[in-house]
Structure 1
Amino acid sequence: MTEIYEDYEWEYVSGSEEESSDYEYENGLQDFSLLTSRSVSTTSSKASSRFTSESCFCSSDLCVCLDDVNTVFAKPLKINKRSPYNNEPTEIKLSEATKHSTKILRTFLDEMRDKNQSFSTPKIEDCILNGGLNNPKHWIIEELCTKSKPSWIEENNISYIDGSYYEGDMQNGTKHGEGSFWSKNNIRFDGYFVNDCPEGLFYSENEHNSEEWAFFYIKNEKLYGQFKELRGKNVKYGIWNGPFWTILHHGAVLYGQLDSTGKMSGYGVYLYPNLWLAIYGQFQNDRFIQGGEGVLVDIVHDNYGFLKPIIQPLQNQSLVEFEAPSRLSLGKNLQSQDMLENIQVFVNESNVPGAGEGLFAKVDIKQNQIVCFFNGIRQRKCLRSAFQEQEITKFSEYRICLSKDISLDIPDEYISIKKYKATLGHKVCHSFQPNVIFSETHHPRFGEIICLVAQRDLCKGEEIFVNYGYEIQNAPEWYQNLWSLHLKSQFGWSTHDILKYGYSVHSCTAAFESANANIQARNNKLLDEKLVS
C-alpha cells in the first residue's frame, strides 16, 4: 500500500495490533530474525505500520537492536548480489527519504570538516550528569594536564622541565586566566585556567601540522560535553560518553556511542562514502563485532539534539562480522562479497596481453571515490623471530604496504575468485599510467586496509589500473621490462638512458623529472641539429 508521509512516498506493510511481532525477511539475514513491536492505526482505508520500540536482529549469540525511535519504514530495499564476473549494473531504486536523508547528512558532514563552524558547549551541569570521559591516558589529558615541574617562572610565562611552556595570565606563579599552553610535543592549547588547571572550552592545534586540531570542554582533568577534532585523516565530532560521528579517510562515516574511556561500544553504523549504503551492528572497544547490511532511511535528533541515522536492513542482507584477518588468515567469510564492490566493479579478462584477469568499472565512478578494497594477510616486516621466518611464506607479487611495519598480501592459493572474493582489489592490473591509486582506509569487516581511489572520473566498462610501486631492483622481470618500455615509448629514452638512469630514478619523482628534463633537452638539441643539417 502506498501513502504520502511528510512529502515522501513510502510502501507500508499493513497489519493489526494482534499480529505477531516476529517477521522474517524472505532470503534474509541467514539465522537472523526481525523482532518488532508494531502500533497500527487505520484511517480512510489506509493502513500504516510504525515501529514504537526496539527492532532487533538476533542470532544464537548476539542481538543487534535499533534505537526505539518512532520511524516509519518503507518496504525493505533489495540489492541483488551478483557474481564478480557479472558486468550488468545493479538496479537500485532509492526512496526519496533516503535521498533526502543523504542530502541532510552531507551538509552536516561538510560543517563537521570546517573547524571555523560554530562550536557550542552544553551547560557544565548537563555535561557532568553525562559522566564525561574517564580516561587519564587520553591524548588531551596527557598533553594538557602536565605534571612536570616548572624550570623557569617569569611574568606571563612558565617553562617546564619536560619542555612544555605556558604564556598568559598568571596568579601566584601558576596558570590562572586566559592563556596558551604548549605541550612537550608542541601541541598548543588555548583556553582558560583556574589555579593551574584547565577549565572550560579549549582549542588545540599541532604546531607541526595545522591540519590537526580539536575543540573540547574540560574540568577537573576530565573531558565533558561536545568535542570536535581532526587527527590523522579522520574528523570526529560528538559528546564524550555519548553519541559521535567520524568522517573516515575518503568519505566513509562512522556513527556510534563512546563509552567512558572514549572507545566506540554498543550499537553503531558504518556508512560507505555514498552515505546511503550501511553496515550496522555491535561494536566493542572501537572494533566491529557483528551485524548486518542496510540502507539509510532517515536522519533524526536524539535526546541530546544530536543527529543520528536510522538504518533499515536490506531485504536480502547477509550476516556481517569482523573478519579478524591475521598473519595466517585472510578472514572468516572469504566468499562474502563487499556490497560496494558488488555495485561498482566486476572481474573480466584484462586488456593487457598475458595479464590474466583484471578489474573493470561496472558503473561510472567519480574522481576521488573509493573504487574497491584490498584485504590480505598481515605480514610484519620487522621483529620477526627465526621461528616466524620459517613459518611465513615469502611475499607474493600482490604485496602492498599498509604501514611502515605491516604489509598486506594475498597467498597464491587465494588469488582465484573461487577461493577468495571478500575484496577484489588484488584483481587490479599494473600500469605506469594508472587511473587509481593505493590509499589506506578503515572497513568494519577488515579493520585498517588498503583501498583503491579513482584519480579521475572512470567510465562504465573501463579497466582499472594501479601502479604497483615495486622496488625496481627486486621487482619481477615483467615489471622491469614494462618500466623500460614505458620510458622508451612515453618519453623517448634510449636503451643507454634506461641502463644509466632507469633504475635510480624509478622511486624518486624529483630524480626522474630532473633526468627526463636533461634527456628531453638533449633530444631536442639533436633534433634541431638534424633539421639544420
Structure 2
Amino acid sequence: MKQLSVPSPHPAPPTPAVPGTSPSGALTSAVIPGRRVHLQPWNPLLGFVATWHLDEDGLPHGFCTVTYSSTDRFEGSFIHGEKNGRGKFFFFDGSTLEGYYVDDALQGQGIYTYEDGGVLQGIYVDGELNGPAQEYDSDSRLIFKGQYKDNIRHGVCWIYYPDGGSLVGEVNEEGEMTGEKIAYVYPDGTTALYGKFMDGEMIEGKLATLLSIEEGRPHFELVPGSSVYHFDKSTSSCISTTALLPDPYESERVYVAESLISSAGEGLFSKVAMEPNTVTSFYNGVRITHQEVDNRDWALNGNTLSLDEDTVIDVPEPYNRVSKYCASLGHKANHSFTPNCIYDTFVHPRFGPIKCIRTLRAVEAHEELTVAYGYDHSPRGKNGLEAPEWYQLELKAFQASQQK
C-alpha cells in the first residue's frame, strides 16, 4: 500500500460570536455560543478579577481589564461603563475578538482569531458582521472571501480549498452555497463545473470556462455539448456510478501509455508542459479500511493509497483497466525514488475527499509522471520491510547506486 498521508483540509470557520451588553448598556455580560456569562466585581475569594478605574457611579472608566465568571476576559477602554475605543476579548477556548468599540458595540474592522489560529477579518456594524470579510486558516491561507449581512454570509462568496480549487456563487438566505448558478473552479482558475449545488454539494454541473471576475463576481461560459457531472463519492463497493466519464481537468493534462520503467506496465504521462506545484491528476477509488488492506496479500494492494487514518483508497480489478474505469487516472502513476510528483490531499466536487498528484518540479510534455510510494523502510520482524518484493528489490538497487 502507498503509505503517504496528508492532514485533511481546514474547514471554513463558523461565524464568530459577538459580545453583547445589557439593555442599559452597562457591561454586565458577554454572549458566547450556547451560554450567558455574568460580569463579577472584584472578589478574591471566588477568583473573579475586574481591574478598572471607576467613575462617580462606580462604573468602569478608562482602560480596564475584566475577567468574567467563565474566565473570558476583556481588555480595553471604557467610558462610564460602556466599551469605547480599542478593545479585545480573550475567550476561554483560546479564541479572541478585537476591534474598535463605540457606545459598547463593535464598529468597523474586527479581527476574530480562532483557537486553532484561523482568522476572520470583517466589517462590524453595531456589533454584527455587515460588509466584506476574509477568512484564513491556521497557515494563513485564504479560505473565504465575500460579504456578511447580520452575521450571515451574503451575496457572491468565494470558498477556497488548500489544494487550489474554489467554490463560488451567490449564497442563499442561510449563507449556504445553494442555488442554480454555483460553480466549482479547478486549481487552474479557468476550468469549472457550473450549475446546481446544494450546500456546496454538486447536484448537476456542466463544464464551463471562467472568463473574468469583476468586483468579485465571476463570469462563466458553458462549453457546448458538455457532459453532466454530479457528486459521486465512492463507497466500499462502488468506485463510481459513471466510471467511464473522464474528469475534464485531468483529461487536458495527462494520458495513460506504456511505462518507460521496465516491467511496470502502464504509466501516467503529461499531455502538456506543467510548472512546479501543479495538480495533474486525481486518485479516486473504492474506500476500504486499513485493517482490510493489512489482512490481505500484497498482490491485492497494488493500487491502494492511504487517504487518512481510517480510510484507504483502492482501485481493484477490473477498474485498474482504463476500459473499465477512467474517471480518474492517478493510480496509473508509477513509483520512483527520484519522483517528479507527490501525492497530496484534494477536495473534489465529484469524488469528495481524495488524493491528487502534484508536480514537484517543472515537467515537459509527454514526460512520465512518477511518485514515491512511501513504504516504511523500517525493518518489521523477521520478514523485513513492510513492502512488496518488487519494491524491496528496487530499494536495494537504488541504495547501491547511491553508494557508488
TM-score, normalization by structure 2: 0.75
2:359 aligned residue (454, 459, 464)? 454
In the TM superposition, what is the alpha-carbon distance from 1:186 to its structure 2 partner? 2.4
Cα distance in 1 for residues equivalent to 2:375 and 2:104: 53
**Residue aligning to 2:211:** 297
**Residue aligning to 1:186:** 94
Q: Secondary structure at the match of 2:326?
A: coil
For the pair 1:215 / 2:91, whether they are aligned, the reply is no
Are residues 325 and 222 of structure 1, via their aligned partners in 2, closer, same or farther at CA, if it must alter by over 3 Å? farther
In the TM superposition, what is the alpha-carbon distance from 1:172 to its structure 2 partner? 6.7
In the TM superposition, what is the alpha-carbon distance from 1:478 to its structure 2 partner? 1.9
Cα distance in 1 for residues equivalent to 2:365 and 2:90: 52
Cα distance in 1 for residues equivalent to 2:310 and 2:300: 14
In the TM superposition, what is the alpha-carbon distance from 1:145 to its structure 2 partner? 4.5
Cα distance in 1 for residues equivalent to 2:145 and 2:271: 34
1:90-109 aligned within 5 A:
none
More helix by share: 1
In the TM superposition, what is the alpha-carbon distance from 1:179 to its structure 2 partner? 0.8
Q: Secondary structure at the match of 1:241?
A: strand
Q: Secondary structure at the match of 2:121?
A: strand
Equivalenced residues, count: 342
1:216 partner letter = G
Are residues 175 and 461 of structure 1, via their aligned partners in 2, closer, same or farther at CA, if it must alter by over 3 Å? same
Q: Secondary structure at the match of 2:331?
A: helix
Cα distance in 2 for residues equivalent to 1:148 and 1:196: 17
In the TM superposition, what is the alpha-carbon distance from 1:456 to its structure 2 partner? 0.5
1:275-424 aligned within 5 A:
275-300=189-214, 306-380=215-289, 396-424=301-329
Which fold has the larger relative contact order, with Cα–Cα distance below 8 Å and residues 6 or more apart in sequence? 2
**Residue aligning to 2:49:** 152
Deviations 1:150-190 (A, max 9, x none): 54222322234555432212367775542112233423322
Q: Secondary structure at the match of 1:295?
A: strand
**Residue aligning to 1:258:** 171
For the pair 1:434 / 2:339, whether they are aligned, the reply is yes
Deviations 1:407-466 (A, max 9, x none): 322223311111111110000001121111111122211122211111100011111000
Which sits farther off after the overlay, 417-426 or 199-208?
A: 199-208
1:355 partner letter = A
Cα distance in 1 for residues equivalent to 2:300 and 2:92: 40
Cα distance in 2 for residues equivalent to 1:319 and 1:467: 34
Are residues 234 and 288 of structure 1, via their aligned partners in 2, closer, same or farther at CA, if it must alter by over 3 Å? farther
Cα distance in 2 for residues equivalent to 1:330 and 1:221: 48
**Aligned-CA RMSD value:** 3.1
In the TM superposition, what is the alpha-carbon distance from 1:286 to its structure 2 partner? 1.6
1:397 partner letter = G
Contact 2:236 2:286 in 1 (8 A): yes
Cα distance in 2 for residues equivalent to 1:330 and 1:459: 31
Cα distance in 2 for residues equivalent to 1:178 and 1:395: 63
Cα distance in 2 for residues equivalent to 1:283 and 1:326: 21
- Aligned identity (percent) is 29
For the pair 1:247 / 2:160, whether they are aligned, the reply is yes
Structure 2: tracts of 5 or more residues without a match: 1-12, 20-29, 40-47, 53-63, 148-152, 378-384
Contact 2:18 2:128 in 1 (8 A): no
Cα distance in 1 for residues equivalent to 2:84 and 2:31: 14
More strand by share: 2
**Residue aligning to 1:270:** 184
Cα distance in 2 for residues equivalent to 1:337 and 1:356: 21
In the TM superposition, what is the alpha-carbon distance from 1:291 to its structure 2 partner? 1.8
TM-score, normalization by structure 1: 0.58
1:141 aligned residue (17, 22, 25)? 17
Are residues 405 and 189 of structure 1, via their aligned partners in 2, closer, same or farther at CA, if it must alter by over 3 Å? farther
Deviations 1:217-237 (A, max 9, x none): 345765332211112655311
1:322 partner letter = F
Structure 1: tracts of 5 or more residues without a match: 1-136, 301-305, 493-533
Cα distance in 1 for residues equivalent to 2:15 and 2:144: 14
Cα distance in 1 for residues equivalent to 2:217 and 2:206: 18
Contact 1:217 1:227 in 2 (8 A): yes
Contact 1:250 1:368 in 2 (8 A): no
In the TM superposition, what is the alpha-carbon distance from 1:298 to its structure 2 partner? 4.1
Q: Secondary structure at the match of 1:488?
A: helix
